[in-house]
Amino acid sequence: MRTRDLLNLHNTGHPGINALFAKAHSADWDFEKDVDWSLPVEPDDPLVGHAWAAYGKTATFQALPEPAKTHATRRSVGRMLNILQVGESVAQNVCARLVLTLREEDYRNHAAAQAMDEARHHLAYRRFLDAMGEQVEDIDAGTEMMFDALLSMDDPLELIATEQFFLESFAMNIFEGLRREATHPLLRRIVELITRDESRHMGFGVLYVAEWMRRAPLERRIAFARRWMGQILGSLLDRPGPIMLSRVIRRLREAGVADAERLGPRMLREQQEINAAELAEAVSGASVPHLLRSARRAGLLEPEIVEALHLSDEPLIRGALRGSIDAEAHA
**Which x/- pattern, by CB under 5 A, does the window 80-99 give for Fe ion?**
--------x--x--------
Q: Does 163 bind Fe ion (CB under 5 A)?
A: no
Instruction: Between 91 and 191, name the residue whose CB sits nearer to Fe ion.
Output: 91
Of the two residues 48 and 167, which places its CB atom closer to Fe ion in the complex? 167
CB of 122 to Fe ion, least distance (A): 8
Q: How many residues bind Fe ion (CB under 5 A)?
A: 6
**Residue 181 binds to Fe ion (criterion: CB under 5 A):** no
Options 10-18, 97-105, 117-125, 294-302: segment touching Fe ion (CB under 5 A): 117-125
Interface with Fe ion, residue 290, by CB under 5 A? no
201 binds Fe ion (CB under 5 A): yes
Shortest distance, CB of residue 245 to Fe ion, whole angstroms? Answer: 29
Reported as half-sphere exposure (CB side, CA atoms, 13 A), residue 325 has a value of 6
Least Å distance between CB 194 and Fe ion?
A: 6
Which of 104, 118, 181, 211 binds Fe ion (CB under 5 A)? It is: 118
Q: Report, in Å, the least distance between residue 92 CB and Fe ion.
A: 8
Based on the shown chain and the rule CB under 5 A, indicate whether residue 247 belongs to the binding site for Fe ion.
no
Q: How far is the CB of 23 from Fe ion (least distance, A)?
A: 14
Could you tell me the CA-to-CA distances from 143 to 34, 140, 167, 218, 307 in Å, in that order? 31, 6, 11, 32, 32
> Taking CB under 5 A as the rule, does residue 50 contact Fe ion?
no
Are residues 124 and 31 in contact, defined by beta-carbon separation less than 8 angstroms? yes
| HEC readout, the chain | CCHHHHHCCECCCCHHHHHHHHHHHHCCCCCCCCCCCCCCCCCCCCCECHHHCCCCCCHHHHCCCHHHHHHHHHHHHHHHHHHHHHHHHHHHHHHHHHHHHCCEHHHHHHHHHHHHHHHHHHHHHHHHHHHHCCCCCCCCHHHHHHHHHHHCCCCHHHHHHHHHHHHHHHHHHHHHHHHHHECCHHHHHHHHHHHHHHHHHHHHHHHHHHHHHHHCCHHHHHHHHHHHHHHHHHHHHCCCCHHHHHHHHHHHHHCCCCCHHHHHHHHHHHHHHHHHHHHHHHHHCCCCCHHHHHHHHCCCCCHHHHHHCCCCCCHHHHHHHHHHHHHHHHC
Q: Which stretch binds Fe ion (CB under 5 A): 15-23, 132-140, 192-200, 288-296?
A: 192-200
**CB of 169 vs Fe ion, minimal distance in Å:** 11
Residue closer to Fe ion by CB (options 113, 320) is 113
Stretch that binds Fe ion, among 26-34, 49-57, 196-204, 257-265 (CB under 5 A): 196-204
106 or 117: CB nearest Fe ion: 117
Measured from the CB atom, the residue of 90 and 263 that comes closer to Fe ion is: 90
Determine if 120 is a binding residue for Fe ion (CB under 5 A).
Answer: no
Binding site residues, Fe ion, CB under 5 A = 88, 91, 118, 121, 198, 201
